[in-house]
Amino acid sequence: MSSNMSSAEEYLRRTTDWMTTISLFALLFIGPFGCLCNILIFTSKQLTKSSCAFYFRCTAIFEFCILCFGGISRLASEHFGKNLLNENQIYCKFRSYLITAMGTIATYFILLAAVDRCMITSVHIRYRAFGQIKIAYRMSLGIILIGMIVTIHAYVYFDLRPLCTPQPGVYSIFYSVYITVLASILPDGLILIFTLWTLINAQHVRKRLSTTQLANTRQQRHVQKTEAHLLIMMISQALITVLLDIPRVSCYSYYFLTANTPKITSYYI
């Protein structure tokens, strides 16, 4: 009986390792390619003055850095024997800090894009002023600085134990709460709220335009079409972000809360 269990466990372990390796290789190829395409799209001439496009461009840049830096280092550590992550203390701290900071910043850039579309579709002129590119520059700088400051705890409390994990006890709980609430539930919830708010505003805008008798020029129609495309992209990005964050946050929370808990073999399966 135990022999059969051992064979089954070994088969499941090899299958899991194989699927993880394949998915990681696919992610490292498809992910950066998609980010580069987004960067090229949002740097096009007609979108250079769009604040929403600027937020999307910043999101793509940070996600590209996360995929390349985090993905390649993980691949080298788990499948090619280059275990620098679990051997070098400075690298462990630096990588944990950067991955935490860039992930937080990328998520809040999507929130800024949602807020931008909500404001730009408002009936109030004062709120629509939020969509100016100069304000986007200031908001982006603020988000980056805040994100780099509030995640400095990852550099302080991550260490080799003997693997690169957060300090057990209170900080492990704090880090799990941070990842779950501040880096996921809070921004994702706000993204959904502003997305729904944007849809309501967009309906009001369409009703107002349908009652207007003035003919739109070709340039005005082009601008409206571009804004509509950005709105669709923002809504799609918001929904995808929220859906992908659910399993990611669940796995991260489980991993960090149980990182220092002994487990039997079947517990991993």
28-87 pLDDT per residue, tens: 788 888 889 889 988 888 788 888 889 999 999 999 999 888 877 777 776 666 677 778
Of 32-41, 67-76, 173-182, 200-209, where does mean pLDDT reach its minimum? 200-209
Cβ atoms 143, 157 nearer than 8 A? no
What are 141's two structure tokens? 């700088």
Half-sphere exposure of 258 (CA within 13 A, CB side): 11
pLDDT at position 269, please?
Answer: 32
DSSP state of 180: I
Q: Which of 55, 59, 215 is nearest to 139 (CA)?
A: 55
What are 186's two structure tokens? 């809070």
pLDDT at position 252, please?
Answer: 61
**Cα–Cα distances in angstroms (integers) from residue 77 to residues 21, 30, 87, 158, 254, in the given order:** 12, 20, 10, 17, 21
- Is residue 212 very low, low, confident or very high in pLDDT (cuts 50, 70, 90)? low
pLDDT at position 264, please?
Answer: 41
> CA-to-CA distance for 70 and 141, rounded, in angstroms?
23
126-166 pLDDT per residue, tens: 888 888 899 999 999 999 999 999 999 999 999 888 888 88
**Cα–Cα distances in angstroms (integers) from residue 186 to residues 112, 118, 180, 196, in the given order:** 13, 17, 9, 16
pLDDT at position 211, please?
Answer: 52
